[in-house]
Amino acid sequence: MLSKLLSKQVLNQGLRLTTRTLSTASQQKLVDRKPDVKYQKLFINNEFVDSLGGSTFEVLNPATGDVITEVADASEKDIDRAVKAAKDAFRLGSEWRRMDPAGRGVLLNRLADLIERDRAYLAALETLNNGKPFKDSYNIDIPHCISVLRYYAGWPDKMNGKVLPVAGDFFSYTRREPVGVVGQIIPWNFPMILLCWKIGPSVATGCTSIIKLDEHTPLTGLYTAKLIEEAGFPPGVINIVSGDGPHCGASLVKHPDVHKIAFTGSTQVGKIIGVECAKQVKRATLELGGKSPNIVFADCDLDLAVEMSHFALFFNQGQCCCAGSRTYVDEKIYDEFVQRSIERTKRRKVGDPFDDSTEQGPQISHEQMDKILDLIESGRRNGAKLLTGGERHGDKGFFVQPTLFADVQDNHRIAREEIFGPVMQILKFKSIEEVVERANDSEYGLAASVFTKDLDKAIVVSNALRAGSVWVNTYDNFDPVAPFGGFKHSGLGREKSEYSLDSYSETKCVTMKISERNS
Ligand code: NAI
Ligand code: MG
């Protein structure tokens, strides 16, 4: 009963951070759960077009391994077309540049309304293509997209400059201007959410963009393209293309007419993109990988800590850059915590993501499944204690059993590398000083969490952790108002919130000579 209540609390948390007004999956009669795919072409200048060479690639259903459809495969020449469209839309005197700031907010609100109208369809399409449970797509992902867009809709007419008290007879002020044409590259773990995290600040600041969808999960982004056109965005303001990383993504990064790249994905690719951008002094924000520590002190609410630590790791099939993947537990409660975590992990329901009782769907691809199974094998070999799971689930699709390792040591590969799968690591600690040092001993610094009822301890430890987000007695709170991004190799810059607006704008300083200053 208690764990049921706690699961509800986790879901409510998801809802609270998304919307207070939308209904939940169980309250609404749902439309077709195996949706038809309507858009498979590139969206350039508000039109759906084939790629120039006519080539396409297959999109798979990760729950079955079957082909859902084929979509256009953008080449370097297509990227060139999309950049030209974005550049034209950004020209001085264009409809976009002449639009009142508040007009950009109206467009974002309209897009949010259209996503809300088509919520059930988009949620179903997300689940079909990504494999995440439908109840999560419907109750968490799509509502979060809506609230992110509405949050940014309020910004365009509130991004003020300053009047500067310069010396002498001068009048000097700053303006926040759009950075220009922006290239945005997103991964497959939260296709709709990351699309909206990119659209929000780019539109709010008045940039134009080319968004490259992930090659595994292009379907909801291409459908959203249709909604962008329906919302009334001028042609070329948002262009959306599907294509691979090394050719399509790389040509967007290298394009000389793109002024900024916003990338979410692996640290490995983020480093390559960082180098490319540096060559052209191109602005870059990078939201990369993590190996986030979750510290559970003996004075915590144990029921909450067990459920939240489970959620922190297993949510979204473990495919979260901020997954709480190093669970440090105080030796005083270690055995009890491990025991309860085994029970919770064994109860985790894996299966058809369209089934309402399913908590865990498939991993995104065969490649990811193999990578996870390889890391599990390394955990076994290194001597960590495998307590449940550890194998592929079934023989169809890309499912992995919910897996739990205890007695993990800091030097094990599973304690150092990003697994990006449903594999939890529990490590034991004795003192605050020791655990803080171990938690910070990672090349990553994306997120961290602390479970304790002691306020002093919560603050001291949160301040000491080298991570962009620290959650205390909670996890994965993703309110649009809060910034998100990494220390160290977890990235550069911040997504969401007003902080992301800085990286989409340039500060211009205008100084005028005035004849005489009286005061
Ligand atoms: P990836 O970093 O290769 O792909 C992410 C995006 O970058 C995709 O849109 C891809 O097409 C694009 N891309 C790849 N190479 C590129 C290049 N040279 N230039 C420009 N764009 C490029 O991630 P992948 O291969 O799908 O997953 C590998 C690992 O990365 C995962 O196991 C996980 O550890 C991590 N990852 C982290 C994510 C995060 O949210 N931070 C999301 C996805 C993966
Ligand atoms: Mg890759």
pLDDT (tens digit per residue) in 434-448: 999 999 999 999 999
Q: What percent of the chain has pLDDT over 70?
A: 93
- Residue 8: the pLDDT is 53
pLDDT exceeds 60 at position 21: no
Q: Where are the beta strands (DSSP E) in 338-490?
A: 385-388, 403-406, 423-429, 444-445, 447-451, 469-472, 487-488
Among 76, 189, 252, 266, the mutation site with the greatest number of ligand 1 atoms within 8 A of its Cβ is 266
Q: Which of 319, 317, 291 is nearest to 447 (CA)?
A: 291
Sequence-separated (6 or more) residues with CB below 8 Å from residue 341: 306, 309, 310, 327, 404, 424, 426
Residue 187 in contact with ligand 1 by CB distance below 6 A:
yes
Residue 203 in contact with ligand 1 by CB distance below 6 A:
no
Given the residues 215, 287, 418, 495, the one annotated as active site: 287
pLDDT exceeds 80 at position 25: no
Question: pLDDT digits over 136-193, tens only?
Answer: 999 999 999 999 999 999 999 999 999 999 999 999 999 999 999 999 999 999 999 9
186 alpha carbon – ligand 2 mean position (Å): 11
100 alpha carbon – ligand 1 mean position (Å): 36
- Residue 14: the pLDDT is 44
Q: Which ligand number lies closest to the CA of residue 272?
A: 1
- Residue 498: the pLDDT is 97
Q: For atom 29 of ligand 1, which residue has the closest CA?
A: 266
pLDDT band at 516 (very low <50, low <70, confident <90, very high): confident
At 352 the three-state DSSP class reads: coil
Closest approach atom of ligand 1 to CA 215: 11
Please answer whether residues 331 and 428 qualify as being in contact, where contact means their C-beta atoms are separated by less than 8 angstroms: yes
Residue 246 in contact with ligand 1 by CB distance below 6 A:
yes
Give, in order, the Cα–Cα distances in Å from 43 to each of 102, 186, 240, 269, 440.
25, 16, 5, 25, 43
* Rounded Cα gap, residues 220 and 196, in angstroms: 11
The fold for domain 39-288+492-507 equals Aldehyde Dehydrogenase; Chain A, domain 1 (3.40.605)
Assess whether the region 39-288+492-507 and the region 293-480 belong to the same CATH fold. no
Cα pseudo-dihedral 160, 165, 171, 174, rounded to 10: -30
* Rounded Cα gap, residues 47 and 31, in angstroms: 27
* Rounded Cα gap, residues 181 and 237, in angstroms: 9
Q: Is 287 a catalytic residue?
A: yes
Residue 189 in contact with ligand 1 by CB distance below 6 A:
yes
Residue 214 in contact with ligand 1 by CB distance below 6 A:
yes
> Where does 293-480 sit in CATH, by number?
3.40.309.10
* Rounded Cα gap, residues 261 and 9, in angstroms: 37
Cα pseudo-dihedral 188, 192, 198, 199, rounded to 10: 150
263-269's contacts with Cβ under 8 Å and 24+ in sequence apart are 263/184, 263/185, 263/287, 264/185, 264/186, 264/187, 264/194, 264/197, 264/288, 264/321, 264/495, 265/185, 265/186, 265/187, 266/187, 267/418, 267/443, 267/444, 267/489, 267/490, 269/245
246 alpha carbon – ligand 2 mean position (Å): 8
80 alpha carbon – ligand 2 mean position (Å): 22
Neighbours of 481 (CB within 10 A): 12
Closest approach atom of ligand 1 to CA 272: 18
pLDDT band at 34 (very low <50, low <70, confident <90, very high): confident
Q: Quick one: CA dihedral 205, 207, 213, 219, positive or negative?
A: positive
Question: pLDDT digits over 349-371, tens only?
Answer: 999 999 999 999 999 999 999 99
Domain-wise residue ranges, the chain? 39-288+492-507, 293-480
* Rounded Cα gap, residues 163 and 225, in angstroms: 39
Please answer whether residues 403 and 423 qualify as being in contact, where contact means their C-beta atoms are separated by less than 8 angstroms: yes
Neighbours of 268 (CB within 10 A): 11
At 251 the three-state DSSP class reads: helix
Q: Which ligand number lies closest to the CA of residue 367?
A: 1
β-bridge partners, 182: 209, 260
189 alpha carbon – ligand 1 mean position (Å): 10
Please answer whether residues 379 and 414 qualify as being in contact, where contact means their C-beta atoms are separated by less than 8 angstroms: yes
